[in-house]
Amino acid sequence: MTGNLRTFVLMAAMTALVMAMGYLIGGQGGAVLALIFAGAGNLWAWWNSDKAVLRQQGAMLVTRQQAPELVDMVADLAQRANLPMPKVYILATEQPNAFATGRNPENAAVAVTQGIMGVLDRDELAGVIAHELAHIQHRDTLIMTVTATMAGAIAMLGNMMMFSSMFGGRDDNRGGGLGAILAMIFAPMAAGLVQMAISRTREYEADRIGAEICGKPMSLASALAKISRAAGQTVNIPAERNPASASMFIINPLHALRMDRLFATHPATEDRIARLQAMSGSGGTGFGASRIPTTGRSEAGPWNNR
């Protein structure tokens, strides 16, 4: 399924959910209003969802003057991947993680957390950035950002349904007790739709292509292991407030104790590492790693001070 077709199917499914919830809230009139809301929301999300996600996560745009080594690394890897230079953002959270966003390669952004630069060495960080560039290359970022935005809207309607059921509501309200139950079901379903938006095969593919871009599959494998261990020990407050965006990160940012983990947004880290190990065993492919400096204090960046 092509990227455009996948986007259309996902947006159509979410529109149908919004209409169903509108009907439960206000009957046929509610369904019509929900359809208008969904149409406007889809259009807005198509053009602005990337900005909304960056704003939700508290992302700060950085320039080469502010973070020269990080920006130069992104520029080098983007050149290898034959991509336009994306904007670079830093998230003010200690949880090591990263994501990419943007409706197309010409309007893309790569965001890394402050924590990831304190946990990973230079080659590992290059592997993570290359993974995110692979998502940009295959336009996965459009689907991730649009569905994350729409899922948040659906969750908001679910809360409205519960509020309406608790405090009465209109005579033609299709909610009542049933509406409250459905609201509690539809809200986690929104997060489930997001995790289905980017299939597990796309994460595997981004790992494979990212390893080719950076030229070192085992560096990406090592990064995944470190991030996975640390992510469950550190709470990412912006991500917890906006759980629908979880599928965008390279590793699920939601805390290990959350029930949301039942809706796994990513393949098992062990499986991803095993595939990268197999790729490394075959010699690896790609642009070559010689241009990424080897790990060592003599070439340490801000992510490598230990």
Annotated active-site positions, please? 132
Sign (positive or negative) of CA dihedral 70, 71, 75, 78:
positive
β-partners of residue 99 are: 111, 249
Torsion of Cα atoms, 273 then 274 then 279 then 283, to 10°: 100
Q: Listing from the earlier edge strand, what are the strands of the sheet with 109-113?
A: 59-62, 87-91, 109-113, 98-101
Burial 18-40 (b: 16+ CB within 10 A, else e): bbbbbbbbbeeebbebbbebbee
Taking CA atoms, 248 is separated from 18, 149, 159, 182, 251, in Å, by: 22, 11, 23, 26, 8
Angle at the Cα of 131 (from 224 to 68), degrees rounded to 5?
100
Distance CA 75, CA 167 (A): 54
Sign (positive or negative) of CA dihedral 232, 192, 266, 12:
negative
Residues contacting residue 4 through CB under 8 Å, at least 6 positions apart: none
Q: Which residues are annotated as a binding site?
A: 131, 135, 203
Closest to 249 in 3D by CA, of 69, 91, 18: 91
